[in-house]
Every structure is written in C-alpha cells, then in structure tokens.
Structure 1
Amino acid sequence: MTTTTRGTGNPPGEEKPPRGLVLATLGALRRNRRPLAVATGRIVGLTAATGLLVTAAVFGCAWPVFTAMRNARIQARLDEDPYSHDPDDLLLVTACALPVMLILLGAGCAALQSACSRAVAAGAQQPCTEADLREAVRARLLPVLTVYALRGLAVWAPPVTALWAAVTLTGPPSTPPYPLRRGTLPAQFVETSPVLGLLIAVVLRVFFALAPAAAANGLPPLAALRRSRALVWSRAGWLRTAAVAAAYGLLVAGAVRLLAQLALPLRPLVRSAVQDVTGNCFAAYYAGLLAPVVVGLVLSAALCVPVAYTTLATLHSRLAPNTPHPAPTSGTGRANV
C-alpha cells in the first residue's frame, strides 16, 4: 500500500499539486520562450506592417481633405484672416477605415491567443515547438476571431444603445422621435442609462474574458462563450477572472502610455520627413501625432499581450481542468487533458 506523508508530497507517478497562477504562467512562458518569442514577433510584425499599409491607404484617401486644408490656409493667409481647420471630413474618412483596423487588430489578438493557449496546453512534460504554434494559429484563428467579434457585440451593445437612447429621447424638442420632457423621472432614467449600460458592459466583459482561451482550446465560438460564462459564474471564478482582467487592462494601458511617451521624440522627426516629402503641413501634423501612438501599441503588443494571454489561458485551464486540449502536432509525449 502506498502512503503519502506531509513532507514528501504525492506518491511516485502522480502529478504534483498545481502551482499558483502566477508561477504556472511564468513556467509556461519560460518553457516555451523561444517558440513564443518567434510567434509573437511574426504575428506582431505582420499585423503592424499591415496596419501601416492601411494607415497609408487612409492618408491617401484623405489626401483631397489635406489639400483643401492647405489651400484654405494659404487663402486665409493671403486675406490676412485667422484659419482653424475643420477635421470633420478627416474623421469621416477615418471612420470608414475603422472596421478594417478592428478586424486586423482582432486577427492579431486571435493569433496570439491561439499561440499562448497552445503553449499552456503543452504542459511541463512536452514543451511546444514553433511548428506546433503555427499549426495552432492556422487551426484556431477563425474561431477565436469569431469569439472576439461576438464578445465585442455583446459587450458594447448595452452602452451604445443606452447612449443612443439618451441622446435621442432627451435631445432638443425638434429631434424625432418626440423626446422626453427634461426633469421628469423617465427622462432622468434615460439620461443616466449610459452609466448603467457601462456597468453591464463591464460585467459581460468579465463573464466572457475566458471565451477566447476556450475557443483556442477547440470549442466552437458560441460554446466558448457559454463555457466562459459557466466558469466565471462561481465566486472564485469571478474574483480571479476580474482580478486578471483588471491587471491585464492596467498593464497594457500603462505600457502603451509609457512607451508612447518615450517615443515622443519621433514626432518632430516624422513631421519633418512627411513635410519634406509631401509639402503638406496638415498631413505632416497628423502623421506626427500618430507616430508615438503606433510605437506604443506595437511594443506593448509584443511585450505585454503574450503575458496577459498566457495568464488567461492558464486561468482557463485551472478553472476547467477536465477540458480537452488540442493534441500536439509533433513529438512523442501525450497531450495534457
């Protein structure tokens, strides 16, 4: 008969008790540091290059707007009148390109989540290879991207709907449909409904925080959303998921802010280069505004997002220990279950 003592731990042949979430995440990152670094560089680099191409296309489409701004400024200077450009047309062009940028951002996040989930699923006995991560990204990119789209619709629907109702129903009397009279109880409720919608969005975001990791582990999109809701529903699941999601959001936001601030010296360089090439000061101005932000986003995606996604994948495996993981594409060891 096999006995277990407090000092010796589990009997031989049995798995060791699971470590803490932070230690398990660091272990997965350390074991798979090379393939994860290669996959992160490839995904972030490709996404950034495509994003720059889309940004250049937006500037090309907005070039008539920049030209009109420059001509109006020259005419105002000749007339000795002050000139302040109106960015509404430029915002309209940017809004038309926003869906493309969101799809590109979602595809990059889905690829990183698939790679990080595969690294966590490999376990300590059989670290994954670069081929494993490439296969995981190819196999699970579309389901995880679909989860991001469905989660975005579910999370943003309440605050956007509440904001639309507040603007429409409590706006000026000439705005159809007939607005509510200000000061009445229904009008006060509608005016404060965006706050309620934002709170609902935060709750839904926490409930669906583990859905991309579940989809990366082989579940269909709707099943992944249901699995995430079921795992987070308990008190322990809710607290741990909310803590990880909040830490992840603060980490990425802080990194973007810090790195963009450090990249501010690029702003005059980019403005000068674009001004010399195009001769349009307005295009140079907006290009200079974007340069530090782009640098901050790219470096934050490369440094912080893999850590956050690996943490979410580890948390998902802890809350759902019996979830089957995709089998490895190479090697002789067994896949973790």
Structure 2
Amino acid sequence: MTARLVGLSGLAGLLLTAAVFALAWPVFTRMRNQRIWYQHVEDPYLHDHTDLALVALCALPLFLLLLGTGSAALQAVCSRAVAAGSRASPEGEPSDRSVPSDPSDRPDPSDPSDRPDRSRAVAVARLRPVLAVYALRALIVWPLPVLAEAVANSLTGPQLDTDQQFLERGSWLYALVAASPAAALFAAVLLRLALGLAPAAAAGGLGPLAALRRSWSLVRTRTGAVRVLALALPLAALTAGLVRLVVQLALPLRPLVRGLLEEATGNFFAAYYAGILAPVVVGLLVAAAVVLPVSCTAFAVLHERLRSSRASGGG
C-alpha cells in the first residue's frame, strides 16, 4: 500500500508538472518571438522572468494540495500500521479509534459487494481529518513569516528610493524590521514542530482541532520536545542531503532534455527551463519517495509512545 501511494503521488506530481509546463507554453512562445524580433533589429534581448514567476506562483497551491493529499494518505496508512502493531504487542495501549458497537456499522463478511464500498468509505473518513489538520496547521504556522516578510520588504526593500524610505538605514529600528522575517520564521518552525504530531493524532481517530491540541500537549513537555527535535533534525538533514545528492547525479539530464525538447519544438526557452527543472524534479521526487514514508511512520510511532507514556502516568 505504501509503495503504491508513493508511486501514484509521484506520477501525479509528474503529470501536474507537465500540465503546468504546457499551460506556460504561451509564455515561452512570446519569449521566443521577442527574441527573434530583437535579433532582427539587432538589439540585445534580456528576457523578463516575471510571467514565469507568476505561473509558478499560481501553480504552487496545486503542488501544495498534491503534497498534502499524498502525505495525508501516507500518514493514515503508516499510523494504521503502527496502531495495529501496538495492539498486537503486550504492552500496547488501545488506539483512539473505537470499535463500532452497532452491528450495522461493521462489514458483513457474507456480502462481498459491501466490502469495497465500506473500505472506500473508511479510507475517506480517515483521510479527511488528516487533510484538515494539514490545512489548519498551515494556516496557523505560516501567515506570520509571510506577513513579516511583506511588511519588512515594504519598509526596507531595495525597491525604495531615498525619499520613500520611512526608516533610516543603519538605525536600530531599521535593523529590527529587517531582521523580523528571520525571527518570525524561527517562531514558525518552533510552532510547526509543536504541531508535528497532529497528523498522526488525526490518523489515530481524533478530530482536527483535538489532534492539534493533542500534539501541543505532548510536545510542550520536555520529553516530547526533545524527542520531536531529535526526530525532526535528522529527517530534515536527510531530506536536504538526499535532494542535493540526487540533483547532482541527475545533472546530465539537463543537456539531454534541453536538446530533445528544442529539437522537437524549436523553442529555446521552453527547452532551457525544462532542462533546468528536470534534475530538480527528479531530486524532489526521489527525496519524497524515500523520506515521507520514514517520516510518517516515525512520527506515528513517536505519537503512540508519547500518548501511551502519558496515559500510563510516565510523561
């Protein structure tokens, strides 16, 4: 199940990347036509990246939605496996899921047609709170650094002329405002770590708000904070190192993709950007395929242990 989820998510990511690239094709065509015109009038052509940046910005929510959906499905599968292992062990604590007491809520083994529908309904029911947790956590964590960056850029950005500057360069207030995005990002990372167990809690049967509260209550203790930090730092280092390694190994794809696409379409700019993206896409997909299952399983195990420890009075 895990391998199939990873494979389907990777395929969906590739298809989405190809679709966004196809939608951006008019931008590449306009850049090519402008280059031809400037060559005709013998003027140097410096193409503008603004339109491509807008396309990437508009496509970002789609990629985040895909990442969240895939991560939520993977978290549900990993948490279910961890909970099953905990129930099978002698010292395992019961999970948050309650067994249906109504016989009508249980699958009927004598009705084969009923099992796929019930399995699909159960899977959707398990996935919905995890998706809600991802959305709520993003709304809680990331608005602060984004707002701080916007305010700091509007007050201290390089686009301001001397007569437009509200804060004097070199003053302590200017330095404080300029450093506020870094401080806000640090606070957001700490908050993200404090809510890091929420998807596992939601996959265990809690509602979105209850899962966020559960994660906060478990991580705010000294034991929980140390364990979450000890888990998150190696995973972050593994992700960064794996992305860098795979991108470096995939660099030969750049001239190959660029040459093939330029020969097929005659559009230098489309081929150029496709060549740049190819190793990056490979690196991200490989890193996600390796790290996400490990991360979801590790956080599910940590949530189960911290919850069991607190339930037994050891935390």
Cα distance in 2, alignment partners of residues 175 and 97 from structure 1: 37
Deviations 1:36-91 (A, max 9, x none): xxx23322222222222222222222222111111122223233333232111111
Distance 1:302-1:137 versus aligned 2 partners, 3 A rule? farther
Matches within 5 A, 1:273-312: 273-312=260-299
Match of residue 131 from structure 2: 145
Deviates more, 1:179-188 or 1:194-203: 179-188
**Match among 61, 86, 106 for residue 48 of structure 2:** 86
Letter in 2 for 1:64: P
Match of residue 181 from structure 2: 194
1:101 is aligned to 2:87: no
Match of residue 143 from structure 2: 157
- Structure 2 stretches of 5 or more lacking a match? 90-115
Q: Which has more helix, going by share of residues?
A: 2
- Structure 1 stretches of 5 or more lacking a match? 1-38, 325-337
TM-superposed CA distance for 1:189, in Å, is 2.3
Match of residue 22 from structure 2: 60
Matches within 5 A, 1:38-57: 39-57=1-19
- Report % sequence identity: 56
1:121 is aligned to 2:83: yes
Q: Secondary structure at the match of 2:142?
A: helix
Deviations 1:133-188 (A, max 9, x none): 98874332221122112212222122112112212234537999x83444444433
1:210 is aligned to 2:201: no
Task: Give the TM-score taking structure 2 as reference length.
Answer: 0.81
Letter in 2 for 1:143: P
Deviates more, 1:76-85 or 1:302-311: 76-85
What's the C-alpha RMSD, in Å, of the aligned pairs?
2.6
Letter in 1 for 2:38: A
Cα distance in 1, alignment partners of residues 166 and 77 from structure 2: 50
Match of residue 272 from structure 1: 259
Cα distance in 2, alignment partners of residues 72 and 214 from structure 1: 54
Q: Determine if contact 1:115/1:133 at 8 Å carries over to the other structure.
A: no
Cα distance in 1, alignment partners of residues 263 and 144 from structure 2: 47
Distance 1:136-1:111 versus aligned 2 partners, 3 A rule? farther
Cα distance in 2, alignment partners of residues 222 and 323 from structure 1: 19
Letter in 1 for 2:138: G
Deviates more, 1:310-319 or 1:64-73: 64-73
Task: Give the TM-score taking structure 1 as reference length.
Answer: 0.76
**Match among 204, 219, 226 for residue 206 of structure 2:** 219
